[in-house]
Structure 1
Amino acid sequence: MRLVMLGGPGSGKSTQSHNLSQELKLPVISMGGILREAIANATPLGIKAKPYVERGDLLPDPMMIEFIQQRLVQEDGGQGWILEGYPRTAFQAEELDFLLEDLGQPLDWALYLKIDEATMVERSLNRSLFDDHPEAITTRIGKFHEYTVPLLEYYAAKQNLLTVNAYPEVDQVTKLILARL
């Protein structure tokens, strides 16, 4: 099974990706993790990405596509995966579809973890990631609204969007997702 996790900052994408990984025995491909690792290791792509991440901005599409291409060709993704934090735009979703077609790995579902903006802020401020400061959170929420609605429409048109209420307790959200897959 190949899943894309969608949602605003603090919606539980990482948490639910981890839970689903355990339940479904699939690797999680976390764009946030990949970016943080590349930045921490000062890779050439990480150095280019760092200013965007620090501002809370989305990386340019070609840079994101390069990151995801490098990751999806690794061995552990052949039988399925959970992609968290990518795509962020409809263009990236289309590019991902082209890449997956080339790899013979069609996407099964795009899971949208739905919460409101106040919950996004509250949950984000309660985390301890280096880029979770109020200015970056506000920027990420703005980008979420700007880019995610067309992305949700893209997957809805392809009839592979599952919207899940992400307000309940973590384990309950996981159960809701598993029941719908």
Structure 2
Amino acid sequence: MRLVLVGPPGAGKGTQADRLRDSLGVPHISTGDLFRAHISQQTELGREVQEYLDSGELVPDAVTNEMVRERLSQPDTANGFLLDGFPRNVAQANVLGEILANAGQKLDAVLEFQIDENVVVERLLARGRTDDKEDVIRHRQQLYRTETSPLLDYYSDVVVSIDAVGDVDEVSARALRALRGEK
């Protein structure tokens, strides 16, 4: 299964990605993990990412696109993958479409994690991380709404939405049922 996870920061995508990876038997590909791997291996792309991060800038789409293109060319993705954090915008979705088309593949689904913003704020504040201040969290939510949520229209024919509120097992079961087309 070729799957993209979409939802606001704090919706539980990373946690659910690990569960879905195990259930579906496909690799979980997170852009954050790709960035960290390239940085630790000191690849050319990793050095480029580090420069952007050190200067407080966002990593440009072109760099992220190249990392994802490289990762999706690896043999373990032949039978599917789970993308978490990519695409973040319609331009990246177009690149993903090109990558898949060139490989004779297509996305099976875009799994949307629906959750109320106030629930996310409470959830993230409860983690107690120093960067999880309410104004920062709400700013990230706004960025998600403006940059990432347009993907739901872009992928409207393959979006599968689930309620992301509940315990981890409950949300995992809900996601698997939805991906199988069950209620």
Q: TM-score, normalised on structure 1?
A: 0.85
How much does 1:121 deviate?
A: 3.0
Inter-partner Cα distance in structure 1 for 2:122 and 2:177: 27
Counterpart position of 1:100: 100
Query: Any unmatched runs of 5+ in structure 2?
Result: none
Counterpart position of 2:25: 25
Rate the CA distance shift 1:119–1:42 in 2: closer, same or farther, 3 A.
farther
Inter-partner Cα distance in structure 2 for 1:53 and 1:3: 28
How much does 1:53 deviate?
A: 5.1
Counterpart position of 2:75: 75
Give the SS at the match of 2:86: coil
- Correspondent of 1:169 among 167, 170, 174: 167
Query: Any unmatched runs of 5+ in structure 1?
Result: none
Inter-partner Cα distance in structure 2 for 1:6 and 1:176: 15
* Worse overlay, 81-90 or 111-120: 111-120
Counterpart position of 2:90: 90
Inter-partner Cα distance in structure 1 for 2:77 and 2:111: 18
Counterpart position of 1:63: 63
Rate the CA distance shift 1:106–1:30 in 2: closer, same or farther, 3 A.
same
The answer to whether the Cα contact below 8 Å between 1:10 and 1:120 also exists between their aligned partners in 2 is: yes
Inter-partner Cα distance in structure 1 for 2:56 and 2:108: 29
After TM superposition, the structure 1 = structure 2 runs for residues 1-181 of structure 1, keeping only pairs within 5 Å, are 1-50=1-50, 58-127=58-127, 132-134=131-133, 137-156=137-156, 159-181=157-179
The answer to whether the Cα contact below 8 Å between 1:35 and 1:46 also exists between their aligned partners in 2 is: yes
Identical pairs, percent? 39
Rate the CA distance shift 1:164–1:57 in 2: closer, same or farther, 3 A.
farther
How much does 1:54 deviate?
A: 7.1
The answer to whether the Cα contact below 8 Å between 1:115 and 1:166 also exists between their aligned partners in 2 is: yes
Give the SS at the match of 1:86: coil
Give the SS at the match of 2:149: helix
The answer to whether the Cα contact below 8 Å between 1:78 and 1:105 also exists between their aligned partners in 2 is: no
Q: TM-score, normalised on structure 2?
A: 0.85
Rate the CA distance shift 1:65–1:38 in 2: closer, same or farther, 3 A.
same
The answer to whether the Cα contact below 8 Å between 1:114 and 1:163 also exists between their aligned partners in 2 is: yes
**Rg larger in 1 or in 2?**
2
RMSD over aligned CA atoms reads: 2.5
How much does 1:30 deviate?
A: 1.2
Inter-partner Cα distance in structure 1 for 2:113 and 2:55: 24
Paired residue total? 178
Matched to 1:81, the amino acid is: F
